[in-house]
Structure 1
């Protein structure tokens, strides 16, 4: 596999552009162990609506299937609860927005596959991401087919995947937010203007990426990394921020 360039972006990351047609081909028919899949999904926070006992709010889907919504955006989940207060205030008083990792949702969905009348999970993408996905799909003559959009950059003569450096490893980032990817692409184009015109942003559904991780032995899958939105990153920072230490009371003067 050839590496086209190496660069240091103002975002504090370094990246390279892989030139390998095999990557693009394999991603359409790409299996990682469940533990490896969870490593990729666990860092991504998603948001559910749950009752006082922590059970997810369930709606009836097609064929009376039980469906629980999983919001990519905390703000969208909060807005759902706000709307619920108007439509069904009694129910709204009994539910709240609960953060959970994407990996946990995946485990629940997998374990439910063998159950009768199993609970299904429906991912709710951000409206802005869907709009971006539709625009890109129309431009690429590949209409957006639904699902949670993920944005990835490809470029170079062989349309390889743009990679970034993370923990001293080259990884292929899939962004939930197109704007975050555009920042990386802009820096790349500034430093490599001779191939700037070859760089394109494509859309793939989260659900499709997860299925791909489940169905191939290709080692390149290990390089895929999901990049949460800025909103989710801030949420994680707030959750992980250490509480300020309470100062010890001063000893009384003698």
Structure 2
């Protein structure tokens, strides 16, 4: 069922139930009970790497995300697929042409924190979700964000040490594997495995070092480059309204 747009609740802090006398509060992960992933000692290190991957939300000119209602609760929608965000933007503009809407990026680490608090929904791409085993045509709402990796393939990290690349896009993971096989000039067949972001992070935050890297989709990087050139780099506004 399509979530209902709350046109009057643009500010990301407007998650306080109406009528209780409290002002809208800033949406923060620390306002919720401790989470086993985001409260782990290794989370800041992992989050810094995750934040290099952009996700996208529909927002107004001040970078304040639109909110939607599900089961009486307002939520922000955060898209891993920039094309899905563009599609949502088109629909929102048609319904609310005066709001000055656009899609703006935020880091996946921050998005994951908001998702874990229940303040936002993190939405995977349709293609990647189906590549990870979901039925064709299934709704991405409520689905885990998938990652793709080849456990036999490593790339050089920033410190020169080998790291395992984790891809958000299945096709790009496959291309990287094919390139690696061609460069190696061997006969070995490298297998790509799918895993959920949630399960991967449970393992990664428990490690003492970052022997992995996250690879953003090429389409996301292309949009970010265009966005920065044309907008001056305005991001999602998570401050409470003045």
- TM-score bin, normalised by smaller chain: 0.5 to 0.7
- Work out whether residues 57 and 103 of structure 2, in 8 Å CA contact, stay in contact via their aligned partners in 1: yes
* Displacement of 1:208: 2.8
Q: Distance in 2 between matches of 1:213 and 1:65?
A: 31
* Aligned residue among 185, 203, 217 for 1:212: 203
- What is the aligned-residue RMSD (CA, Å)? 2.9
TM (norm. structure 1) is 0.61
Counterpart check, 1:81 vs 2:63: no
Q: How many residue pairs were aligned?
A: 183
Q: Distance in 2 between matches of 1:130 and 1:107?
A: 20
| Runs (5+) with no aligned partner, structure 2 | 1-39, 136-141, 230-242
What secondary structure, in the 3-state scheme, does the structure 2 residue paired with 1:193 have? coil
| Runs (5+) with no aligned partner, structure 1 | 1-30, 114-118, 138-144, 156-161, 242-254
Distance 1:37 1:227, change over 3 A: same
What secondary structure, in the 3-state scheme, does the structure 2 residue paired with 1:134 have? coil
Q: Distance in 2 between matches of 1:121 and 1:212?
A: 23
Q: Distance in 1 between matches of 2:69 and 2:228?
A: 35
Larger Rg: 1
Q: Distance in 1 between matches of 2:41 and 2:163?
A: 16
* Displacement of 1:50: 1.9
* Displacement of 1:188: 3.1
Residue in 2 that maps onto 1:57: 66
* Displacement of 1:226: 0.9
- Work out whether residues 115 and 122 of structure 2, in 8 Å CA contact, stay in contact via their aligned partners in 1: no
Distance 1:40 1:132, change over 3 A: same
Equivalences for residues 1-254 of structure 1 within 5 A: 31-62=40-71, 64-86=72-94, 88-90=95-97, 93-108=99-114, 113=117, 120-134=119-133, 146-155=143-152, 162-167=153-158, 168-190=160-182, 191=184, 193-196=186-189, 199-214=190-205, 216=206, 218-219=207-208, 222-238=210-226
What secondary structure, in the 3-state scheme, does the structure 1 residue paired with 2:104 have? strand
Q: Distance in 2 between matches of 1:185 and 1:53?
A: 41
Distance 1:48 1:173, change over 3 A: same
What secondary structure, in the 3-state scheme, does the structure 2 residue paired with 1:154 have? coil
